[in-house]
Structure 1
Amino acid sequence: MKLFRISTVPISLNILLKGQLRYLNQFYEVTAISGQGDELDEVEQREGVKVHPIAIERRISPLKDLVSLLQLYRYFKREKPDIIHSITPKGGLLAMIAGKWAGVPVRMHTFTGLIFPHKDGHFQTLLIWMDRVLCHCATHIYPEGKGVREDLERYRITAKPLKILANGNVNGVDTTHFSQSAVDAESIEILRAQLGVREDDFVFVFVGRLVRDKGINELVTAFKNVASTPLSDRDPTLLSDQNPIPLSDRTSAGVSNVKLLLVGPPEQHLDPLEPAVLSEIDANPNIITVGFQQDVRPYFAVSDALVFPSYREGFPNVVLQAGAMGLPSIVTDINGCNEIITNGHNGLIIPVKDSAALENAMRRLAVDRDLYGSLREHSRPLIESRYRQDRVWEALLEEYREAGGGVIE
């Protein structure tokens, strides 16, 4: 049987579905479809699957979208796939329409995140109707997590069944690859020396694009305060029944050895940071930037906790990866993050765009060693029990087999 996996741009296939296509290719004749590029070539070589480039614009572009739609239709009509499965908004819309026109029997789409809840006005209305058309043309619809499903239901995108595979996330996490034991101890020490990180430093790490929507403005502001403002016995954020910290631990020494490690590319042209934040990143000796890294595991290995104050996500891989590496996380109360992290169990959850709450959470982890130890103890076991990659792949394979036996029109 033929299985086509479709995304708008090849990086989605290359990063989000790493390893999955090779696994599925044992059971189906898999073809990966997206725009052309080195990333698609890498998918072909690493996954051992067929690829077929079709240019798809990420932005709304009526003429180019029509061309892409016709190309998808002709290819589906000629190749007659048994299942098509898309994972990105524009690629999904065009693939589902083309698949319905071409008579593809099983047409699946996974919503890895939604754009329209964060827009307004006519643009939001347009995006809602695009997703409604997508769902109308699909036979099976999969929200990546509970938050995505709730948004689809709240905005009445479709009346069709919405099924979350496994516990959410499109690919799970390879807990063998993302493990402290998988990183050589000597290389960790070399990296520590290169970064200027001491053994007694408490290192917060952020992995992702350095942009406003990832909460970098709030993160840098909070870290500046944590690193420069001593904790006092009268600190109201720490003197509470809900957050008892021994007086002996509430000292300036408790936060004098913190560092912030930023792993990811800046994108000032797309979603700029505040000028004061950029200046702080450049001037603060305790903020370390290393840019994009192909392998983030060594940076997790030299860190103590992930900080991920994003404004919106579908189901963030970085939180899964950090947990698999044994790191607790501070995350915002958004889709995906609040499904992976249980507040007070394997991390802390704070409100979105709240630098004061973020500062308090960072102080708590840096100072309260009992709290930190408890969160860290539960981090990896939770990921292993819920999001291990092989379980996600097996659930997807079973879904394909079930879908092939009966189609919802």
Structure 2
Amino acid sequence: MTRTAPLSVCLVCNTAWAIYTYRQGLIRMLVAQGALVTVLAPRDRTFPLLEKMGCRCIDLPVASKGTNPRHDLGTLWALYRHYRTIKPDVTFHYTIKPNIYGSVAAWLARVPSIAVTTGLGYVFIQQSHAARVAKALYRFAFRFPREVWFLNRDDLAAFLDGRLLAHPKRARLLHGEGVDLEHFAYTPLPNAQHFTFILIGRLLWDKGVREYVEAARTLRARYPHARFQVLGPAGVDNPSAIALEDVRAWQDEGVIEYLGEAHDVRAHIAGADCVVLPSYREGVPRTLMEASAMGRPIVATDVPGCREVVADGATGLLCAAKDAASLAAKLAQMLEMSRDERRAMGERGRAKVTAEFDEVSVVERYRQTLREQTGVSL
């Protein structure tokens, strides 16, 4: 029998901002092929932008902070009801709570699902009761998805070593979610009297913001021409969130320059000499892929995710995690390089991203998976 109804795909995340920021290429492909795309996430400022792209957006209750069972069961119940109503052909779950509760809800509603582990975050950074509970929930919930995607080998190994996958053969390595190389085009380094570092991302302690601030304090006297910028939302709904008051205090001290938020980060990357991400752990950080695509050298931590993007000494410099002194030393090394050395580093970064993280290949992976799961060719 010939199928007449359009393919229906749900994208579920703990923030709509992440869907809009990281998956525009996927959405454009689905919409262009006539698929019905539904985004389920807490309502935020990106709902109108997603709707403009052709998505239907549904407000989803997700309590990113804490582990209140009542709140989490509310998320599971809401997803179950939506899946029973929407009847999607496939749903993709991103981030911890959608991965766990969405996978269970999809199974209960008899909806095929795929879990995408975008980064293990606090679950694999901390040794806490909450982390142990989350691992137990992962172990239960990940028996239900058709496939479980990992963005880097370290995260896949952590799940396999921890026996968190009931069906190891369903694990897939995606190797990052890609970057639009045309949108993030190569841009020459700025030629200004000052030297600008920038940290881009949600302002979380787990992103190494404290270490970045401490390193900036250390370097200001020795390198008065160095500027330390921060771009991204503060006070977000996350256990590791940094309050806006802390950020303003650092700015009042004169140690950093807070740029607020931006839908389009390209002008900020173009204005920087080096992009910094001292994160404790990542999936594969989009910020670093975008920075390398635009030809910027990077300073990041030698942790899962970051070392997928940064070739130490070739496209950037890697420092120890949770170590402000190590970070300061690498920032100083970047400051001491000649402009030509930094330019060559950025050019090698562009070449690496082009070879390994082109969004086109990632979107094709989604296309093939949807064909395998539904029989529909897009």
Matched position secondary structure for 2:143: helix
Partner of residue 10 from structure 2, selected from 4, 7, 10 = 4
Q: Please name the residue that 2:4 is paired with.
A: none
1:377 counterpart (347, 355, 361): 347
| Correspondence for 1:340 | 309
Within-5 A mapping of 1:89-108: 89-104=96-111, 106-108=112-114
For residues 271 and 246 of structure 2, the distance between their equivalents in structure 1, rounded to whole angstroms, comes to 28
Q: Equivalent residues in 2 for 1:10-409 (5 A)?
A: 10-27=16-33, 28-45=35-52, 47-58=53-64, 59-104=66-111, 106-114=112-120, 115-158=122-165, 159-161=167-169, 162-165=171-174, 167-169=175-177, 172-180=178-186, 199-229=192-222, 255-267=223-235, 271-272=241-242, 281-284=251-254, 287-369=256-338, 371-404=341-374
Question: What amino acid maps onto 1:15 in structure 2?
Answer: T
Letter in 2 for 1:176: E
Q: Distance in 2 between matches of 1:311 and 1:259?
A: 23
Contact 2:25 2:359 in 1 (8 A): no
Offset, 1:292 = 1.8
Whole-angstrom CA distance in 1 between matches of 2:242 and 2:48: 31
**What residue in structure 2 maps to residue 250 of structure 1?**
none
* Residues 88 and 111 in structure 1, CA contact (< 8 A), matched pair in contact too: yes
Q: List per-residue Cα deviations over 1:310-369 (Å, max 9, x = no partner).
A: 222222111111111110101001121110001111001111022222122112111122
Normalization by structure 1: what TM-score?
A: 0.79
Please give the alpha-carbon distance, in whole angstroms, between the structure 2 residues aligned to 1:99 and 1:264: 32
In 2, Cα distance between equivalents of 1:209 and 1:54: 20
Change (3 A) 1:78 1:266: closer
Q: Per the alignment, do residues 293 and 345 of structure 1 end up closer, same or farther by CA in structure 2, a change over 3 Å counting?
A: same
Q: Structure 1 residues 201 and 123 mapped into 2: Cα distance closer, same or farther (>3 Å)?
A: same
CA, structure 1 residues 403+160, in 2 after alignment: closer, same or farther (shift >3 Å)? farther
1:70 alignment partner, SS class: helix
3-state secondary structure, aligned to 2:184: coil
- CA distance, structure 1, for counterparts of residue 42 and residue 233 of structure 2: 22
> 1:179–1:98: structure 2 CA closer, same or farther, 3 Å change rule?
same
Long gaps (5+) in structure 1: 189-197, 230-254
Q: Which structure is larger by alpha-carbon Rg, 1 or 2? A: 1
Shift of 1:271: 4.2
- 2:186/2:350 contact within 8 Å kept: no
Unmatched 5+ stretches in structure 2: 1-6
Which amino acid letter does the alignment assign opposite residue 296 of structure 2?
L
Structure 1 position 30, deviation (Å):
2.3
Task: Provide the secondary structure at the position in 2 that maps to 1:335.
Answer: coil
8 Å contact from structure 1 (residues 108, 140) kept in 2: yes
CA contact (8 A) 2:92 2:113 kept: yes
Q: Which amino acid aligns with 1:199?
A: A
Structure 1 residue identity aligned to 2:22: L
Q: Where does residue 243 of structure 1 map in the other structure?
A: none
How many residues matched?
361
Secondary structure of residue in 2 paired with 1:291:
coil
* 2:61–2:78 Cα contact (<8 Å) kept: no
| Conserved? CA contact 2:17–2:46, under 8 Å | yes
Look up the equivalent residue of 1:16 and give its one-letter code. Y
1:76-106 deviation digits (Å, cap 9, x = unpaired): 23433221111122122222112212222x3
Alpha-carbon distance, 1:151 to partner: 1.6
* Identical pairs, percent: 25
Q: CA 1:35/1:265 → structure 2, altered by over 3 Å: closer, same or farther?
A: closer
Please say if residues 215 and 325 of structure 2, whose CA atoms lie closer than 8 Å, have aligned partners that are also in contact: yes
Q: CA deviation at 1:73?
A: 2.4
User: In the superposition, relative to structure 1, how do residues 85 and 266 fare at CA in structure 2: closer, same or farther (>3 Å)?
Assistant: closer
Give the AA of the match of 1:366: L
Other structure's SS at 1:137 match: coil
Amino acid in structure 2 at the alignment position of 1:75 = H
State the distance in 2 between where 1:35 and 1:379 align.
35
C-alpha distance in 1 between matches for 2:36 and 2:144 = 23
